[in-house]
Amino acid sequence: MTEQQQTPADPRAADLAARVRDLMPGVRSDLETLTRIPSVSLPSFDQHHVEDSARTVAELLQAEGLQVEVVREGGQPAVIGHLPAPEGAPTVLLYAHHDVQPPGESGWDTDPFEPTQVGERLYGRGVADDKAGVMAHVAALRAHGGRPPVGVTVFVEGEEEVGSESLPHILERHGDRLACDAIVLADSHNWKIGVPALTTTLRGMVRVVVEVRALDHGVHSGLYGGAVPDGLTALARLLATLHDEAGDVAVPGLMSSEAADLDYSEDDLRADSGLADGVSPIGTGSFLSRMWTKPSVTVIGIDAPSVDRAANLLTPVGRAKLSMRIHPAEAPGTAYQALKEHLERNAPWGCQVSVTLDDEGSGFAADAQGPVYDAARAAFRDAWGGVEPVDIGVGGSIPFVAAFAERFPQAAILVTGVEDPDTRAHAANESLHLGEFERVCLAEALLLERLGALGKDGSHD
Ligand SMILES: [Zn+2]
């Protein structure tokens, strides 16, 4: 694609594109400054770096003319910046997070906290997830000379990577100042290099512990084996009932639907997941449906005697932890009940089964229609040189999306992203594609422009 083709036809859009291009060296330099702060929010890491990154984000927003406050409700500091709306214009909330995952023990080819360019990519922990999200918001403000045609509230959280635990309290306490007509959550990914995406669904999550008891206490496996069941074998049989022969989840009553029809082949799945040779994928339907809009159940832990220490004993109790991912629109409470009933009903040999809820989180299914989505799709198309954005799902859950959806039910929610399939967020060698990053910044500048043109009422349709 030539530079020529990428310049949007509309003169105002072309003007913004030229401005963003001029701004990118400064945006990148600020991104590097942020990346050099090792703001790992995991409590075992030095938390003063998270304070530093909050302060640095606050200064960046202040420099754009926003009224800024650093808030905290028992957790890590979040930054709120506000620019009032011009008369009659809507207000847009721009979300990102300034904390990062730990760098991990090994595997980095460069220093994780010294951003390094290799080819078209910039490497470093947090350089994409989600400090590029922070800088995309700053870049959009800069592109409008600090005077966008909409009100802007920037909200940059400091504990997304450890579960956003105090976010509900922040939303409760400071929600009035975050009130908005549209929300842009810049923490997901695009479909591939050159193809932008809006994340319109996220699966929800239910995690349980199941315990299967066969005996009051362990007994000799030689003396009683054959007549008396053991808890571990019973657990194994129970876990085997969770899937049918094809590998679909066999728990009745769970919601499922078809995902968007995008190209994703078995070869893509094998390459992306590292499936071992000869192993088949499980389930039925398109691969994307299996990962985005159908339920899944995974055994993530088992308490059992270790192989090295195993005695000739009928083990009285087996325990397992199960992670279930659920349809974006399914209520976690309903899904939990369905799983619990299935496990209780399938107890082998009358063994005692008890199920306890360990954690749950709501999914997200955007109403991906209406003027805000139209504006976003047009902005993306212009920023990506005419390439139509696609709607994608994410199989995992992002707790903060549900929190915003619940607190601001009137606002249209756009989940956008700076990542691409090679970003490796959370892993070693995390990186940002610099060409795509410029398009992300431009898309957001164009989006603010289009939302301003929409006026306040348009965003409520
Ligand atoms: Zn993130």
**Domains, in order of start, for the chain:** 3-202+363-454 (3.40.630.10), 204-256+295-361 (3.30.70.360)
CA of 451 to the centre of ligand 1 (A): 25
Rounded-to-integer distance, Cα 212 and Cα 235, Å: 6
Q: Using DSSP bridges, classify how beta strands 197-202 and 390-394 pair: parallel, antiparallel or unpaired.
A: parallel
CA of 84 to the centre of ligand 1 (A): 27
Token digits of residue 183: 């929300």
CA of 187 to the centre of ligand 1 (A): 5
CA of 101 to the centre of ligand 1 (A): 9
Q: Encode the chain (461 residues) as per-residue pLDDT tens digits.
A: 444 446 677 888 899 999 999 999 999 999 999 999 999 999 999 999 999 999 999 999 999 999 999 999 999 999 999 999 999 999 999 999 999 999 987 899 999 999 999 999 999 999 999 999 999 999 999 999 999 999 999 999 999 999 898 999 999 999 999 999 999 999 999 999 999 999 999 999 999 999 999 999 999 999 999 999 999 999 999 999 999 999 999 999 999 999 988 999 999 999 888 899 999 999 999 999 999 999 999 999 999 999 999 999 999 999 999 999 999 999 999 999 999 999 999 999 999 999 999 999 999 999 999 999 999 999 999 999 999 999 999 998 887 898 899 899 999 999 999 999 999 999 999 999 999 999 999 999 999 999 999 987 654 43
The pLDDT of residue 460 is 41
Residue among 122, 91, 9 nearest 434 (CA): 122
CA of 4 to the centre of ligand 1 (A): 33
Contact 58, 79 (CB under 8 A): yes
Please give the single-letter amino acid code of residue 288. L
CA of 235 to the centre of ligand 1 (A): 36
CA of 342 to the centre of ligand 1 (A): 34
CA distances from 143 to 15, 137, 146, 196, 373 (A): 9, 10, 7, 20, 21
CA of 12 to the centre of ligand 1 (A): 31
Rounded-to-integer distance, Cα 230 and Cα 215, Å: 7
CA distances from 420 to 28, 190, 191, 237 (A): 18, 5, 7, 40
The pLDDT of residue 3 is 44
Helix (H, G, I), strand (E, B) or coil at 97: strand
CA of 298 to the centre of ligand 1 (A): 23
CA of 299 to the centre of ligand 1 (A): 25
The pLDDT of residue 458 is 59
Task: Give the side-chain half-sphere CA count within 13 A for 2.
Answer: 2
309 Cβ partners below 8 Å, 6+ apart? Answer: none
CA of 160 to the centre of ligand 1 (A): 7
CA of 188 to the centre of ligand 1 (A): 7
CA of 412 to the centre of ligand 1 (A): 20
User: Which residues face 53 on adjacent strands?
Assistant: none
Strands (DSSP E) found in 246-331: 296-303, 313-314, 317-326
Rounded-to-integer distance, Cα 460 and Cα 452, Å: 13
Helices (H), 330-433: 332-345, 371-383, 399-407
The pLDDT of residue 6 is 60
CA of 35 to the centre of ligand 1 (A): 14
CA of 97 to the centre of ligand 1 (A): 7
CA of 217 to the centre of ligand 1 (A): 46
